[in-house]
Amino acid sequence: MNDILQTDAGNVSAETRARQAVTRPQLDAGRLEPIAHREAPPDKRFWVNCGPILKDLADLRDALASEISDAQFAHHVSRAHNDFARWIEDVLGDSQSAAALRRARTRNGALKALNAALSGRPPASSRRRLRA
């Protein structure tokens, strides 16, 4: 059998289709799983510096609330970079939550952004803009 499959977007290898299937979790009806509940594949989990391994937003929220020290948080989040936000955007495909997390400069702000994402509400800063 041919390893290249013809699609509307052009030729796609069987390997690429398999990789896409792994990185796009699906519900039974064929719809994409809600972004807040997407789980990173085992090889793309987030390894907190000297800490837990995270698979989704809920793991990150729970770890920020109880497991990650201030030093670990500072290792991953600074003015120059936010490793958590980059992982959320690049691996989980959630650019809205990633943007909210980038705006959060503190652990408390990050927890608020993650709680909003997991509850389906827009982050507080977005709600303020919507009211204006």
Please count the structural domains in the chain. 2
CA–CA dist 25, 4 (Å, integer): 23
Report which of 51, 24, 20 is spatially closest to residue 37, judged by C-alpha positions: 24
Q: What pLDDT score was predicted for residue 35?
A: 67
Q: What is the reported pTM?
A: 0.68
> CB neighbours (10 Å) of residue 87?
21
Mind listing the pLDDT tens digit for each residue in 8-25?
444 545 554 444 444 434
The size of the chain, in residues, is 132
**What pLDDT band is residue 73 in, cutting at 50, 70 and 90?**
very high
Both 22 and 50 in one domain: the answer is no
Structural domain including 46 reads: 35-131
Both 28 and 39 in one domain: the answer is no
Both 69 and 123 in one domain: the answer is yes
Q: What pLDDT score was predicted for residue 110?
A: 96
CA–CA dist 72, 93 (Å, integer): 24
**What pLDDT band is residue 1 in, cutting at 50, 70 and 90?**
very low
Angle between helices 95-103 and 83-90 (to 10 degrees): 170
Both 28 and 58 in one domain: the answer is no
Both 73 and 83 in one domain: the answer is yes
Q: What pLDDT score was predicted for residue 38?
A: 87
Q: What pLDDT score was predicted for residue 120?
A: 81
Mind listing the pLDDT tens digit for each residue in 79-106?
999 999 999 999 999 999 999 999 998 9
**What pLDDT band is residue 123 in, cutting at 50, 70 and 90?**
low
CB-facing half-sphere around the CA of 119: CA atoms within 13 A = 10
Q: What pLDDT score was predicted for residue 111?
A: 96
Both 16 and 41 in one domain: the answer is no
